Amino acid sequence: MRVPLRLTISTRSVYRCGYMKILVIGGGGREHALVWKLRQSPRIEKVWCAPGNGGISAEAECFPINQADTAAMADLAAKLGADLTVIGPELPLVSGVADEFARREMASFGPSKAAAELEGSKIYAKEFLQRHKIPTARAYGFYNSFDSANAALKNVQWPMVIKADGLCGGKGVLVAQNYDEAKQFLERSMEKREFGEGGARVLLEHAIRGEELSLIVMTDSERVAAMAPARDHKRVFDNDEGPNTGGMGAYSSDELLPAELGARIEKQIVRPAIRGMASEGRPYLGFLYFGLMLTAEGPSVLEFNCRMGDPEAQAIIYRMDFDLAEALANCAAGKLDVDAIHWKREPSVCVVMASEGYPTSPKVGQHISGIQDAEAIPGVKVFHAGTRREGSDYYTSSGRALGVTCGGASLSAAVKTCYEAVDKIEFSGAHYRTDIAGRALKKSLATL
């Protein structure tokens, strides 16, 4: 999709003589998928990752880094002689790492601090959507204190949604079914500060119903290329039960986004958002994630992310049929070639294997076996999210450990193969959802 805007963007090439050295910032499954895909490019000379993880370290040299230290990240890129730095997670972007690179006239892929506020502040994002008349749920209000937010609960319809304003590691949103649930969440967020300073302010909004869709675009702030559509599974247990997580799995299929719906989203949501950011002096460059709800009245924006979602990235990157290194370099230089973006027709699936106790109190340090057996299955790639490596052995290091990913001739074939691979992998306390893409498969069977 193209979004014509009048902007002045540097067209400086970020690679020399056709070859690139790229530094990827981040250490999760999304970054493993980026490293994996970048290394397939014939233009790549070297890929590094900071801080990386166990799985990434087997494919790229990794360096320890504080992802909140913008100067340290730029220093590392300069020391390595990176032609381009790709920033994966939200924290460095919201902290302003792209601004630090721009100040030093170093190439990076990711939005400025001002543009990343679309994710850094749920309140800013809601007000932005309202200003530009982009479809979104009705807001009850924004609140700076527990008392004012608690009082406002008397005038809402149930269920309703509470969103912590800042970054909370995927734990700052609750769909509350009743007053007691909502009050308890407000206490945790605003009084106990369980989510840090990101929970000091909250947004209360009306809950809308429908099916969720993740649509991510790549943009140089003028041209826009839509990535393959995906659907995430946030709840920790089957049938969308249990607490929200960072994501327990995702799938990508063209059937998620029929042409007519895609055109409507482009016209009513994507174009106004990109133009709106430019008009507010915050031109957006990088990946922009639109978390959408497909309601009976049409698509509506639930949230923005200033980067690719995780685990959606794993499913989406698996389907890429283009040179990602070249695309990112051109985009960073303000020359995104939309016509060069192509996709494999086959759908893909990613199943997250999590540590015991995730998402509340994951137990880590467990030995992982069977990864090699899983990847011996044709079409399977195991992306590491929270692992560390000791020699040839891997151990869990955080809640979401692995993202087992594969494609297939059909969605059912991809799901079947993916779970066959999951069954090969073992670590103490491992748990995962058994119904990733299950609703879509049931719907397909119902139409036969």
User: Given a cut of 50, is residue 5 above it in pLDDT?
Assistant: no
Kindly write down the DSSP assignment for every residue of 182-237, as one continuous string: HHHHHIIIIIS-TTGGGGSSEEEEE---SEEEEEEEEESSSBEEEPPPEEE--EEE
Instruction: Find the mean pLDDT for residues 322-348.
Output: 97
Is residue 276 within 8 A of residue 269, CB to CB? The reply is no
The alpha helices in 250-323, defined as continuous H runs, are: 259-265, 271-279, 312-318
Three-state SS at 65: coil
pTM for the model stands at 0.94
* pLDDT one-digit tens code per residue, 395-413: 999 999 999 999 999 999 9
State the pairing for strand pair 286-295/211-219.
antiparallel
Beta bridge partners of 101: none
* pLDDT one-digit tens code per residue, 190-214: 999 999 999 999 999 999 999 999 9
* pLDDT one-digit tens code per residue, 53-70: 999 999 999 999 999 999
CA distance 142 to 328: 37
* pLDDT one-digit tens code per residue, 258-277: 999 999 999 999 999 999 99
* pLDDT one-digit tens code per residue, 112-170: 999 999 999 999 999 999 999 999 999 999 999 999 999 999 999 999 999 999 998 77
* pLDDT recorded at residue 193: 94
> How wide is the angle at C-alpha 427 spanned by C-alphas 423 and 428, nearest 5°?
120
| CB neighbour class for 404 (10 Å; exposed up to 12, middle 13-18, buried from 19) | buried
CA distance 166 to 196: 9
Instruction: Find the mean pLDDT for residues 74-94.
Output: 97
Instruction: Find the mean pLDDT for residues 342-357.
Output: 98
The per-residue b/e assignment along 367-376, b for 16 or more CB within 10 angstroms, e otherwise, is: ebebbeebbe
Instruction: Find the mean pLDDT for residues 352-376.
Output: 97
Is residue 428 within 8 A of residue 366, CB to CB? The reply is yes
